Chains A and B, each alone.
Chain A
Amino acid sequence: MTQIELTPASGPAFPSSPREHLTSPVTRSALRIQNRMLAAAREYLTGQGFFELLPPIIGPVTDPGARGAKQVDVDYYGHRYKLMTSAILYKQASLAAFDKIFCIAPNVRLEPLETARTDRHLAEFHQIDVEVAGASREDIMALAEGLFSYVTRQVTDRLPDEFDRLGRDTSAFAGLLATPFERRSHVGAVADLHDLGHDQSPDAEINWAGEAMLSRKASKPFFITDYPKGSRGFYDKESPDRPGYLRNFDLIAPEGYGEMCSGSEREHDYATIISRIRETGENPAKYGWYLQMLREGIPGSAGFGIGLERFTRYIAGLDSVWQASAYPKIPGVASP
């Protein structure tokens, strides 16, 4: 088998051993910040009445995703099971038990090899996953904004020494968290990219280079909303007012750090989901348990997932996302 040569785009050299990485002052500061971020996220969400659920790690089916990442198969007593690529299906199902839930969910995605050079992809990562029954996209975007702001304030207030060590100036955060984040549509983002001379399909996800360009031009986080159908999973609800567009959003960090959160209002109608599963080329048969739950009825909802390592990278000002993981897995690189 061929082993890929890793040539980082701009970031620091990948450590030669786990010891070198774990004993690095940068790693220690990044992980202390991340630890505090997690505690703050739990405080905020629990304070708002959320229930923390421990998500499954394997299941017969997981989020099919939408960017060419391969799932990891697990031989579960002769059945083909998957490691979770995201908790989305289980988050929706769990609303049968509780109306407001969150998980700190581990995810594994065998991403295309080109992502090894983006400085923002890990094959193994964690999400702060949130789902709220009966919520609209606007409700959930406001919650994401509140959570993001609270965590940022908490961590910058409490760990000034760690930020000093990393050379991250936190004074800018105070101003940018004082006002709501800008919202722009996918159509608007595509137009912005065309104005910048960047080739971007209006029918597709914002490509890596385009996203980095928009992020670099921004000075504070902003939302991109209304992605076109055909760029996202079947569970993002299609707008009843604008067919072909989804009631979803991404939260993009400024300074070139890029996307760190995706969310949407969810589709939960059985027949609509079946059609949407076919539109994403999937075989409905393997979603048996999920479809059965939909058939019996689950509440409408909205939710999001924040990429914990990406969020940490932005807050801590790290060159590369792998610096925010104790045991980083860069796509295609065999590492502990």
Chain B
Amino acid sequence: MSALQAMAFPEAAVRARARLGAACALPDPKEYGRALFGFDPDAAPGDLIDQLRLVPPVFVPGRLEKLLELTREPVYRDVRLEATVGGLRSTLPLYLSAFGSTEAASVDLGLAASRQAGRLGIPMVVGENVTPVNGYGRIEEDAERSLLGRISAYAAHALDGFGGVVVQQSTEDADAEVWNLVYSDPNTQGLLESGRLAFELKVGQGAKPGLGGMTLLSASAAARLADVFTIDPLFGGSSDVVLRCSSPGTFTEEILRQQIRLMRNNYPRAGIWVKLPPARDIREAALVAWEAGAGAVTVDGAEGGTGWAPVAFLQHVGLPLAECLRRLRDHPGCLLVSGRMWEGARVTKCLALGANGVGLGRAALVAVDTDAENGLVNLVECLSLEVQMLTSALGKYHVGALDGEDVWSPDAAGR
């Protein structure tokens, strides 16, 4: 475990799950028979999704169907979790979100997360700017730091037939031709040939919609990247760190449509994902992406983000995830969402509100930081158990059957 801290995030609870796994879905067994439990009215209200409640029905025709199939009363372990996440077969409706090249997500954590995501059989997104900042790894001596290091770690542990690697590229990455490199690399042919390679066009991100990626770099590393990125020495001449910024990239409807078409044209054997920020025209942008042939649109709610972001943006900019989901109701393609995901209730609510899969970002980082061997696997084991319990309580036995009727909003009570 490192000094990594996840401020404004339930870090202690995530670390406990990373250590103890499914046991954390229930109160401490030592307190069984000694303490009384119940709703805590003093708990922080959280964001709009936290304020929603999942509401099981009395009448459960779905359970009857499952009973007929099983010839016994179904229980929560009968809930099927397998899902198609952006065209990739996944053991769970989950994927590992991009960490990028922020220092917090640096080499060891990235590799640990890659290995565990592979074991879990869930897709993994590798962030933009890993290649321009850390290199690709085919010829460089420190290959482990690189994009290829992450991909190789995933592939070496991948569950047969499940998961996949999704490689992001942003505007500045285009200079390094990340996708061209990955697509033509002998090392990635196994993933490509088994249909487990996809590319994600990064249009924006949750924590700082309207801005590009930001990392802090040492002044010497910055000098090397000065002709690719904007380098802003805003911490003063005496500081040995500088801010490295990507541009957000310029998009119009036509630019987005044609970029997606060109991706399909250039990489016909790879899946195509598009990552959108929680922007006010999220629905229009997502519809353009699906219409142009994107296999998935990922939306990072304003609550999301592992990266370095200006303080003003963290508290005041972008649509909350709940509002993104509301605006994207009845969507025609695969919708993946992320932002503060770490436990089963939030995941189940997002699936009920229309998401087809949910991304783990900070929670995965904290989990692998807690236990590099099994932290993420343990966290996901607990989350999966909760999703199974919640879904079965709703009278459903496949996560794909969750929908809006399963969720109650406080707004509805006032009507």
Q: What is the interface of chain A, defined by CB distance below 8 A to chain B?
A: 1-4, 66-71, 79-80, 110-114, 201, 203-205, 207, 228-231, 275, 278-283, 286, 331-332
Interface residues of B, count at CB 8 A: 39
B 140-197 contacts with A by CB, 8 A:
169, 171-172, 174-175, 177, 179-181, 183-184, 186-187, 189
User: Are A279 and B265 touching (Cβ within 8 A)?
Assistant: no
- Encoded as 1 (CB less than 8 Å from any A CB) or 0, chain B from 13 to 32 comes to 00000000000000000000
10 A-B residue pairings within 8 Å (CB atoms): A67-B265, A69-B180, A70-B180, A229-B261, A230-B262, A231-B261, A281-B169, A281-B171, A281-B201, A331-B184
User: Are A1 and B187 touching (Cβ within 8 A)?
Assistant: yes
Give the distance to chain B from A28, nearest Cβ to Cβ, in Å.
32
A4's closest neighbor in chain B, by CB?
B186
A68-B179, A68-B267, A283-B174 given; A204·B186 CB < 8 A: no
User: Are A279 and B262 touching (Cβ within 8 A)?
Assistant: yes
Q: Which residues of B contact A286 (CB under 8 A)?
A: 175
Residue among A1, A112, A201, A228 with max Cβ neighbours from chain B (10 Å): A112
User: Are A204 and B264 touching (Cβ within 8 A)?
Assistant: yes
Q: Which residues of B contact A231 (CB under 8 A)?
A: 261-262, 265
User: Are A230 and B251 touching (Cβ within 8 A)?
Assistant: no
A279-B254, A283-B174 given; A3·B186 CB < 8 A: yes
- Is the CB of B263 closer than 8 A to any CB of chain A? yes
- Is the CB of B409 closer than 8 A to any CB of chain A? no
B 234-280 contacts with A by CB, 8 A:
247, 249-252, 254-255, 257-269
Q: Which residues of A contact B262 (CB under 8 A)?
A: 66, 230-231, 279-281
Give the distance to chain B from A85, nearest Cβ to Cβ, in Å.
10
B247's closest neighbor in chain A, by CB?
A283
A67's closest neighbor in chain B, by CB?
B266
A203's closest neighbor in chain B, by CB?
B261
A280: contacting residue among B181, B187, B249, B259, CB under 8 A: B259
Give the complex CA separation of A68 and B262 in angstroms: 10
User: Are A278 and B184 touching (Cβ within 8 A)?
Assistant: no
Q: How many A-B residue pairs have CB under 8 A?
A: 102
B265: contacting residue among A66, A69, A71, A114, CB under 8 A: A66
Give the complex CA separation of A283 and B227 in angstroms: 12
Give the complex CA separation of A278 and B247 in angstroms: 13
Q: Which residues of A contact B171 (CB under 8 A)?
A: 281, 283
B258's closest neighbor in chain A, by CB?
A279
Q: Which residues of B contact A203 (CB under 8 A)?
A: 261, 264-265, 292-293
User: Are A207 and B268 touching (Cβ within 8 A)?
Assistant: yes
Give the complex CA separation of A161 and B50 in angstroms: 83
User: Are B184 and A279 touching (Cβ within 8 A)?
Assistant: no
B186: contacting residue among A1, A69, A79, CB under 8 A: A1
User: Are A275 and B180 touching (Cβ within 8 A)?
Assistant: no
Give the complex CA separation of A254 and B261 in angstroms: 28
A70: contacting residue among B169, B177, B258, CB under 8 A: B177
Give the complex CA separation of A59 and B184 in angstroms: 22
A230-B258, A283-B175, A286-B175 given; A278·B251 CB < 8 A: yes
Residue among A4, A68, A275, A280 with max Cβ neighbours from chain B (10 Å): A68
User: Are B259 and A204 touching (Cβ within 8 A)?
Assistant: no
Give the complex CA separation of A80 and B132 in angstroms: 12
A71-B180, A204-B265 given; A2·B186 CB < 8 A: yes
User: Are A230 and B265 touching (Cβ within 8 A)?
Assistant: yes
- Is the CB of B138 closer than 8 A to any CB of chain A? yes
Give the distance to chain A from B227, nearest Cβ to Cβ, in Å.
7
Q: Which residues of B contact A205 (CB under 8 A)?
A: 265
Q: Which residues of A contact B169 (CB under 8 A)?
A: 281
Give the distance to chain A from B289, nearest Cβ to Cβ, in Å.
13
Q: Which residues of A contact B227 (CB under 8 A)?
A: 79-80
B266: contacting residue among A1, A66, A110, A113, CB under 8 A: A66
User: Are A204 and B175 touching (Cβ within 8 A)?
Assistant: no
B183's closest neighbor in chain A, by CB?
A68
Q: Which residues of A contact B254 (CB under 8 A)?
A: 275, 279
A71-B177, A71-B180, A114-B269 given; A275·B255 CB < 8 A: yes
Give the complex CA separation of A281 and B254 in angstroms: 12
A114's closest neighbor in chain B, by CB?
B269
Q: Given contacts A70-B177, A281-B174, could you give 16 more A-B pairs where the C-beta distance is less than 8 Å?
A: A2-B187, A68-B266, A69-B180, A110-B184, A201-B265, A201-B293, A229-B261, A230-B257, A230-B264, A231-B261, A278-B249, A278-B255, A279-B262, A281-B262, A281-B263, A283-B174
Q: Which residues of B contact A207 (CB under 8 A)?
A: 268
Q: Which residues of B contact A68 (CB under 8 A)?
A: 179-180, 183-184, 266-267
Give the complex CA separation of A207 and B265 in angstroms: 9
User: Are A112 and B183 touching (Cβ within 8 A)?
Assistant: yes
Q: Which residues of A contact B184 (CB under 8 A)?
A: 68-70, 110-113, 331-332
A3's closest neighbor in chain B, by CB?
B186
Give the distance to chain B from A75, nearest Cβ to Cβ, in Å.
12
Give the distance to chain A from B134, nearest Cβ to Cβ, in Å.
16
B260's closest neighbor in chain A, by CB?
A230
Give the complex CA separation of A185 and B181 in angstroms: 32
Q: Which residues of B contact A67 (CB under 8 A)?
A: 265-266
Give the complex CA separation of A3 and B186 in angstroms: 7
Q: Which residues of A contact B263 (CB under 8 A)?
A: 281
Give the distance to chain A from B345, nearest Cβ to Cβ, in Å.
38
Residue among A70, A110, A332 with max Cβ neighbours from chain B (10 Å): A70
Residue among B175, B250, B266 with max Cβ neighbours from chain A (10 Å): B266
Q: Which residues of B contact A280 (CB under 8 A)?
A: 258-259, 262
A111's closest neighbor in chain B, by CB?
B184
Q: Which residues of A contact B267 (CB under 8 A)?
A: 68
Q: Which residues of B contact A4 (CB under 8 A)?
A: 186, 189
Residue among A204, A205, A283 with max Cβ neighbours from chain B (10 Å): A283
B193's closest neighbor in chain A, by CB?
A114
Q: Which residues of B contact A201 (CB under 8 A)?
A: 264-265, 293
Give the complex CA separation of A231 and B261 in angstroms: 7
Give the complex CA separation of A130 and B268 in angstroms: 30
User: Are B189 and A2 touching (Cβ within 8 A)?
Assistant: yes
Give the complex CA separation of A281 and B169 in angstroms: 9
Residue among A1, A69, A228, A230 with max Cβ neighbours from chain B (10 Å): A230
